[in-house]
Amino acid sequence: MRFTALVLSATLLAPLTAMAGEDSVPPVTDPLVKKECGECHMAFQPAFLPAASWRKMMATLGDHFGEDASLDAVTRDKIESYLVANAGRGRVDRANPPLRITELNWFRHEHREGEVRRMRAKRNVKTLADCAACHRDADRGYFEDD
Ligand code: HEC
Ligand code: HEC
């Protein structure tokens, strides 16, 4: 079973079981996406969010978590196509899709242990969105060890 198919599964245990058998999440391969979406933070793997989430995000770049991340229309459309084509599959509230990976159930579950807190304090990690602070090879899609 593919990790991407279960990222947003309504149940909590299914994605964990699936993830245990997967060693990586497909990394971003498009240079334009790497550049434009990797400027302020790691270019997040599209499989972490479903298409509806990416569409909403790309339609609201003028206010992107308080930042202006606007792009010209051509660039915006190209990036959206890539994100949507490689999006995670799973059911989601289409009217109000999640925009944060860090707020998904499986993410919260994986990151509530003491180990995360210890690493966060030790490495002075400001936000859990800074995947690479704890997962060295996050941009290559590896999240299993630190
Ligand atoms: C001008 C800086 C900037 C650019 C450019 C930018 N972002 Fe962001 N992004 C942010 C900030 C700031 C946050 C919030 C980070 C936090 O809460 O720690 C964020 C958060 C996110 C999150 C949610 C992370 C979480 O909490 O799970 C996603 C997904 C995301 N960005 C995708 C993108 C995509 C896709 C692009 C390219 C179209 C992009 N970003 C370009 C600044 C930027
Ligand atoms: C403060 C440190 C920290 C940050 C920041 C962090 N993680 Fe983690 N993450 C961990 C720890 C610790 C674990 C659980 C131990 C393990 O399995 O490596 C974990 C587990 C995971 C797992 C499950 C790995 C598996 O195979 O069991 C995934 C997937 C993951 N993180 C993705 C992310 C993503 C995506 C981000 C950024 C949006 C992120 N993490 C940010 C520390 C962190």
Between these two residues, 26 and 14, which has the higher pLDDT value?
Answer: 26
Q: Is residue 2 predicted with pLDDT exceeding 90?
A: no
Atom of ligand 2 nearest to the CA of 110: 20
Q: Which of 65-69, 75-79, 86-90, 127-131 has the lowest mean pLDDT?
A: 86-90
The verdict on residue 75 lying in a domain is yes
Q: How far is the CA of 11 from the centre of ligand 1 (A)?
A: 26
Burial (CB < 10 A; 0-12, 13-18, 19+), residue 46, is: buried
Amino acid 136 reads R
The verdict on residue 145 lying in a domain is no
The verdict on residue 117 lying in a domain is yes
Q: How far is the CA of 24 from the centre of ligand 2 (A)?
A: 12
CA distance 138 to 120: 16
Q: How far is the CA of 32 from the centre of ligand 1 (A)?
A: 15
The verdict on residue 99 lying in a domain is yes
Q: Which domain holds residue 18?
A: 3-140
Q: Whose CA is nearest to atom 33 of ligand 1?
A: 37
Task: Check if 40 has its Cβ closer than 6 Å to any atom of ligand 1.
Answer: yes
Q: Is residue 94 predicted with pLDDT exceeding 60?
A: yes
Taking the CA of 103 as reference, the closest ligand is 1
Q: What is the count of structural domains for the chain? A: 1
Q: Which of 11-20, 77-86, 111-120 has the lowest mean pLDDT?
A: 11-20
Q: Is residue 9 predicted with pLDDT exceeding 70?
A: no
Give CA torsion, residues 79, 83, 86, 89, to 10 deg.
-160
Could you report the per-residue pLDDT of 18-70, keeping only the tens digit for each? 444 566 899 999 999 999 999 999 999 999 999 999 999 999 999 999 999 99
